[in-house]
Amino acid sequence: MLMAALSPGPSLAQSPIGVTDIESALAGEPTVKVIVALHPVEAGVAQAGQIAQGQANLMNTVNPSDFQVTQTYQTLPALAGEVTPAGLEALRQQPDVAAIALDLPVEIADVTPGAVFIGADAVWRDFGLSGAGIRVAVLDTGVDTVHVDLAGSLVSQHCFNRTGGCLPERGTESDSAQDENGHGTHIAGIIASRGQTSPQGIAAAAELVAVRVLGPNGTGFSSDVLAGMDWVVANQAQLGVKVMNLSLGGGGYAGVCDQADANTMLYATAVQAARQAGITVFAAAGNSGQADILMAPACVSGVVAVGNVYDAPLVSMGWPTCSDQNTVAGQVACSSNSSPELDLLAPGVLIRSTNLGGGEATKSGTSMSTPHAAAVAALLLQANPNLAPADLETILEETGAPVTDSRNGRVTPRLDALAAVTRVVVGQVTPISGTVLLQGRTDHSGTRIYLSDDPCSSSVTGEPTALTNTEGRFVINASTDQHYLCLQAAKRGYLMAQQDEPKGELGIITLPGGDVVEDQVINILDLAFMAIRYRSSDPAADVNADGQVDIFDLTIAASNYNQRGPVTNWE
């Protein structure tokens, strides 16, 4: 057998390199995309001519219906096109052909398959979002502070650790979060890698606050984790963190664990403090393969607990506690913990990200799925910085694709970045605002603001959408997918104002006073109405609302004589 393996075959009968995969692809398709490499030509002045001649010879030899050329080259001896089985056989017989291969798909910026699977690449492309301006705290083994893909994102760091100490002096606390394990570096890269030597992070422009709470061997204590959470919240005024990632945990808890023991009680308190500070906390479900158990702090009610799914098919995947065979994209990993408190699923199998010491590494587990979700939260916050933790959790869960865990029949949403961002951007609340001043008054409150789906008319109906304050200011939080045709501002005794198709800040408008009969014109009828009530306290004729109908009210009306409403001169 060894001799047979080493024995050379007939040299003239050899086929061009790389045809086996093409034959397999053609078994299911009438044509496939291929690239054909011709034998190199001699360098020199005539090189371009030789390449063109070689291409032409091949195209003239093989029937165009069997090999449809889609691309020729000027400096490369090659052709690309779509080939049939007959065309493949014809190409194999050509002496000028050196190799044939399936045309390899390529992607931008070395994007990890997890980003494509959850639609993050479409978010970057279609919405231009990358997490810019959003700070994410990563509590883990630390971060490689000099990694080219992370150093520029790092804005603050700290350390709490008793299982190996904190650099540089090996004390239990320091201002250095330098990683000595690699786990935290990998997590940070999934969120915010700049993509130079490792795949681009889901929120590549986000800023990182690194807190080392685990030692060089990846272990630590809840007390260190809690100290890290406490430090972030205590310094929130300076840090401005919006998202916290906890790809760690311990124990096993069924259901909500807020009051299970001292550890979980403190985790619940820390999480509540974080949420009150505007921080959404994401935590890993755990990798022990338990279908009804989560680690702490993932089991805490205020945490977004994240489990693990495949982002691509695999023939086999072995885990310490189980193994999966013939997996499909979106399938829950057998190692991923679950319980009714599990909130999300995200990619976490064979995830490529930043490596301690530079470059990239590949890791798997719910530790990797959690930062996918945290990073998408950063994208949502860039789209709408006013989203509260409860809003983020609701959006991520409601827009996720439903996935059924075969172990327990439980349905959990799988992270969908594109759907989540689309909801925020399309359904985002955008204020319609303005200022309405009342002629002759210092208190401009009480003007009724109406929004309508119908074109403006000379009357208003229904309940007002808003009322102006003392300064005449109004702000209406309207959904950007709602297109209003008219805004009207009405106040008894004044001409009405209006604005067609109101959007954003409308500016300032002053309502002319004196329309006490409310017919949208100031004339003799208004003056007569006021004269009859002269020196009374009738509010219907008291234009300036000083408690008495007097010369000041008549003067206001007279100054606006013959003016008609609605007025539209917003400035």
Would residue 65 show up in a list of annotated catalytic residues for this protein?
no
Per-residue pLDDT tens for 308-362? 999 989 999 999 889 999 999 999 999 999 999 999 999 999 999 999 999 999 9
Catalytic position from the list 183, 186, 372, 444 = 183
CA distance 339 to 294: 6
What architecture is domain 113-425? Answer: 3-Layer(aba) Sandwich (3.40)
CA distance 205 to 60: 51
Assess whether pLDDT exceeds 90 at residue 13: no
Per-residue pLDDT tens for 390-410? 999 999 998 998 899 999 999
Dihedral sign (CA 195, 201, 204, 209): negative
CA distance 205 to 191: 9
- 139-153, 166-180, 428-442, 502-516: segment of lowest average pLDDT: 428-442
Q: Write down the mean pLDDT value for the chain.
A: 87
Domain 429-559 has CATH 2.40.30.30: no
Assess whether pLDDT exceeds 90 at residue 246: yes
pLDDT band at 40 (very low <50, low <70, confident <90, very high): confident
Checking DSSP bridges between strand 250-253 and strand 294-296, what pairing results, if any?
Answer: antiparallel
Per-residue pLDDT tens for 272-321? 889 999 999 999 999 999 999 999 999 999 999 999 999 989 999 999 88
pLDDT band at 2 (very low <50, low <70, confident <90, very high): very low
Catalytic position from the list 193, 367, 433, 452 = 367
**Helical packing angle, 524-532 and 551-559, nearest 10°:** 180
- Domain locations in the chain? 15-102, 113-425, 429-559
Question: What confidence score (pLDDT) does residue 555 get?
Answer: 95
Assess whether pLDDT exceeds 80 at residue 263: no
Across the range 552-559, mean pLDDT stands at 95
Pick the more confident residue, 479 or 134.
134
Assess whether pLDDT exceeds 80 at residue 566: yes
* Torsion angle, alpha carbons of 290, 400, 119, 207, to 10: -80
Instruction: Name the strand (E) or helix (H) holding 216.
Output: none
Which of 341, 282, 330 is closest to 308 using CA atoms?
Answer: 330
Fill in the amino acid letter for 154: L
Q: What is the CATH number of domain 15-102?
A: 3.30.70.80
- pTM for the model: 0.59
Would residue 21 show up in a list of annotated catalytic residues for this protein?
no
Per-residue pLDDT tens for 106-147? 222 234 457 888 888 888 888 889 999 999 999 999 999 999
* Token output for 315: 């023939």
Across the range 207-231, mean pLDDT stands at 88
Pick the more confident residue, 244 or 263.
244
Catalytic position from the list 66, 121, 140, 405 = 140
Would residue 536 show up in a list of annotated catalytic residues for this protein?
no
